[in-house]
Amino acid sequence: MTRTTSRDVEYHHEGTRMLGQVVAPRERAADTSSAVAVLLLHDAFGISEEMIGNATRLAEAGHPVFLADLWGERSTPASRSEIGPLIGAMAQDRDRWLGRVAAAHAALDGQPEFTGRPLALLGYCFGGSSALEYLRTGAVVAGVAAVHPGLDLLDQDWRTPGSASVLLMIGADDPMATPAMRRRLGEHLSSAGLDHQFHLYGGTTHAFTSPKAAHSPEPARIAYHARSAARAREATAGFLAELSAPAS
What lies within 8 Å, CB to CB, of 108 at 6+ separation is 20, 37, 39, 66, 114, 119
Predicted TM-score (pTM) of the model is 0.96
CA distances in angstroms from 205 to 71, 88, 117, 220, listed in the order given: 25, 21, 34, 7
What integer pLDDT is reported at residue 80 of this predicted model? Answer: 85
C-alpha 22 chain-centroid distance: 15
User: What is the mean pLDDT for each group of 10 consecutive residues in the chain (248 residues)?
Assistant: 92 98 83 85 97 97 97 94 95 98 97 95 98 98 98 97 98 98 98 98 98 92 97 98 82
Amino acid at 188: H
Q: Which residues pair with 222 in a beta bridge?
A: 206
What integer pLDDT is reported at residue 31 of this predicted model? Answer: 56
Q: Which residues pair with 39 in a beta bridge?
A: 66, 121
Side by side, the strands of the sheet bearing 119-124 are 4-13, 16-25, 65-67, 37-41, 119-124, 140-147, 163-171, 196-201
- Please count the other Cβ atoms lying within 10 Å of the Cβ belonging to residue 195: 12
CA nearest to 153, candidates 171, 168, 133, 178: 133
What integer pLDDT is reported at residue 159 of this predicted model? Answer: 95
Burial of 61 (0-12, 13-18, 19+ CB in 10 A): middle
Q: Are strands 140-147 and 119-124 parallel, antiparallel or unpaired?
A: parallel
* Superfamily grouping for domain 4-244: Alpha/Beta hydrolase fold, catalytic domain (3.40.50.1820)
- Please count the other Cβ atoms lying within 10 Å of the Cβ belonging to residue 220: 10
